[in-house]
Amino acid sequence: MENNTKGKTNLLPIIPLRGKVAFPQTLVSFEVGREMTLKAVERATQNGDRLVLICTQKVTEKDDITPEDLYETGCVAKIRTAAQLAGGVMRVACEGLYRAKTRRINVDEGGYFSAVCDEIVPVRGDEIMEQAYLRAAKSLVKDVLSSDGKITKEAAARLELCEEPDEYVDRALANMRVKLEVKQQALAERKTIERLKLFENCLNEELEIAKIEKKISSTVRQNIDKSQKEYYLREQLKAIQTELGEDAKEADLYSKKLLYKDLPAQLDVKCQKEIERLRKMQPSAPEYTVITGYLDQVLALEWAFETKDTESLKECRKILDEDHFGLEKIKERILEYLAVLKLTKNMKAPILCFVGPPGVGKTSIAKSVARALGREFVRMSLGGVKDEAEIRGHRRTYIGAMPGRIIYGMKQAEAINPVFLLDEIDKITSDMHGDPAAALLEALDPEQNSTFRDRYLEYPYDLSKVLFITTANSLDTIPAPLRDRMEIVELSGYTLEEKTEIARKYLIPKQLAANGLTKRNAKFSNSVLRFITEGYTREAGVRNLERTIGSICRKIAVQYAENKDMPPVCVDEEKVQAFLGAPRFTIDSALLEPQIGAAVGLAWTAVGGTTLSVEAALFKGKGEVKLTGKLGEVMKESALAAITYLRAHAEELGLQSGLFTENDLHIHVPEGATPKDGPSAGITLACAVLSALSGRAVRGDIAMTGEITLRGNVLPIGGLKEKALAARRVGIREVIVPAGNQKDLAELPETVKKDVTFYPVKTVAEVFALVFAQTPTKKSAPKKRAAPKRLPTPATERGQDSVRCDKNRE
């Protein structure tokens, strides 16, 4: 039975195809780069139907073709996608619709081939014969595809379900490795029975070829060694890539870089595997950029190169002294490390933690250490870091994955032994994404950091030669396991003399240069530097002092900009007040006078030491105690302990028995917005309460610090140097300290020990004997009096967030 129904006729642009034959009911994708082909695609996409005629080129290697170089029979297809690639190449994907034969191929005025084509309508014959041939063909196709192995399981399943003879032939030939001429002959044949016969002959021939190939491959595989096999495959792959027009230059470039990079053996093998994967991929594949990004990161890191350390200890000391005044503990520790390294030639770098108030030079000394050792310097700020992945990186499976900040810093250093500063380690926080402090445990453990594993690299990286330096204002917020891995070096605040020397040697030259001035333009005497330090700054470090000097230099710069011939400016107290206004901080002698119900304590904060005024008031009531001033639990317990001691020893202290039951007691620590905690205000609380109960005035020119027990003993405290500096700063020259802190007095600067008298005490009775200078008044009941005055140390000026009356020491 024949079907002579007339098919469709269309005028369509032609896409010449090299090395392929397009069939109906199949998808075909290819790249086009010839101008005439690009124009044909452009013309088809402009049409609403997006139809083209795909004709196979007779000679694959020929570039400049004529209509005679194309087969007359082709496949009408619809363009699904057309994507522009680099180099003027376009990637086109089409869906075959039906077979068609051209009447005549012309060169269109648009510069592309076009032709009027007629649809080839299949001529059907005996249905029984067609089904017999179809079943035989299906059986042979299974054998061919199992030997070939080039078709996916999904495509084989779809092919098995196909029952239409012509559609089956088209789909099968599209997925098989068959000669181009045979495919073209099957495409042009109108009679279905003839197509099936041609297809069966082709299958038998391909089956024999597949068997012979398998036999040859098995024999050859046994006779060639591994290196010959790899060479053969690479050459074959290059030939295939060249034939397909694919570019392997990027993979070759990575291979060359790998040759010059001294990588560990296992990592080198891993990178070679990644490069081989890269060769087999299209640049448009999503995994392609993942592999190139990984190789870029690995090759950018240094795995063996290290800088040479300074050999001379004297030269190292000289550089450290040039950059910083004081800081002897740090300088000695660095010299110790360099000396041991020089003697042993190999040692694990220490993990140092510089703890101290802001502005004392923690960060800048780390830079000086790198310069003194002759190493690279890397700084990483940990303030606000709350994602553990920022330390250890992300796995490559995530989009936009990158190494962690430690590996990123090592890439910046370009050496395996830099000085690595982890700034503000006490400001780390944690959330649902993990704890960064826990991720730092491996990096900051000398026993483990030789195999630090970043999630992105997926290979251990040696950090054992890195000199890690961390900085912190307080140890309280650093987790104990992390703190245990670091060597703590404490930096105290500067004395007035040290600040003056630092300003003269470092700050003034720096600010003069920053504002376009020289030493000839402005001169500062030591006396005026002391005036600036005492009157306009109140801090443990020198950061505000530098800003103040910079402000003066800017005022002088304005004068020189207006009058270049102006003589040098000799900065004195009068000019300082003209530039900056009246001093912000002054010592009022009236505040140092004895007061009833008020005592001066000393506290330690993250920004240095400070004075702490404690007030107590007594009034008629029921024996209740009220504590205000945003006190922490420990400080509240200290206040209760002090009151309990006073009640237990009321008779010895000359207090009436009804004072505690017939009156209420209110204890307040001013600056109520600032949190306060710690046990070392115990004796201060006891003195203030006793003063309010007895009506005796407490000396205002003496400060105190110490923890009180129920038995009246005074226990040691921490942060003595910072507290002593705070007392000296506000004009107090006598300080009561626990006897257990006498060993700490030896570490105080000589200027402080010369100006301040320290009274070591063991019991609170000794404290009372020192602070109650005036004779007791006969009236012990509460009376009206002016509120006690406070020492001028506002929290807003100190820039602190909280006050601790003690400093934890491990």
In the 8-state DSSP scheme, what is residue 19?
S
Instruction: Look up 680 and say whether it is catalytic.
Output: yes
Within 8 A by CB and 6+ apart from 427, the residues are 382, 383, 384, 385, 477
CB atoms within 10 A of CB 245: 11
Within 8 A by CB and 6+ apart from 650, the residues are 656, 657, 659, 660
Tokens 């800003």 correspond to 547
CA dihedral 73, 76, 79, 83 (to 10 degrees): 0
Residue 635 vs residues 596, 630, 643: alpha-carbon distances, Å: 21, 10, 13
Integer Cα distance of 521 and 564 in angstroms: 10
Q: What is the distance, to the nearest Å, from the Cα of residue 576 to the centroid of all Cα atoms in its chain?
A: 44
User: The tokens of 29 are what?
Assistant: 């994708």
Q: Which of 183, 721, 723, 807 is catalytic?
A: 723
Burial of 387 (0-12, 13-18, 19+ CB in 10 A): middle
Integer Cα distance of 431 and 386 in angstroms: 6
User: What is the three-class DSSP state of 414?
Assistant: coil
Question: Can you give 161-202 as a three-state secondary structure string?
Answer: HCCCHHHHHHHHHHHCCCCHHHHHHHHHCCEHHHHHHHHHHH
Q: Which of 680, 694, 721, 807 is catalytic?
A: 680
Residue 626 vs residues 440, 635, 669, 745: alpha-carbon distances, Å: 44, 13, 12, 36
Residue 378: beta bridge partners? 420
**DSSP letter for each residue of 83-139:** EE-GGG-EEEEEEEEEEEEEEEEEE-TTSSEEEEEEE---B---HHHHHHHHHHHHH
Determine contact, residues 319/372, Cβ cutoff 8 Å. yes
Residue 51: beta bridge partners? 78
Residue 378 vs residues 299, 390, 413, 415, 437: alpha-carbon distances, Å: 19, 16, 6, 11, 19
Determine contact, residues 579/694, Cβ cutoff 8 Å. no
Residue 393 vs residues 387, 396, 408, 436: alpha-carbon distances, Å: 10, 9, 9, 11
- Which of 705, 719, 701, 720 is CA-nearest to residue 771? 701
Determine contact, residues 80/54, Cβ cutoff 8 Å. no
CB atoms within 10 A of CB 304: 11
Within 8 A by CB and 6+ apart from 460, the residues are 450, 451, 452, 453
Residue 619: beta bridge partners? 664
Half-sphere exposure for 733 (CA within 13 Å, toward CB): 5
Max alpha carbon distance in the chain (Å)?
137
User: The tokens of 514 are what?
Assistant: 């920053």
CA dihedral 327, 330, 331, 332 (to 10 degrees): 120
Integer Cα distance of 653 and 645 in angstroms: 11
Residue 704: beta bridge partners? 601, 736
Single-letter amino acid, residue 529: L
User: The tokens of 111 are what?
Assistant: 């510069």
The catalytic residue positions are 680, 723
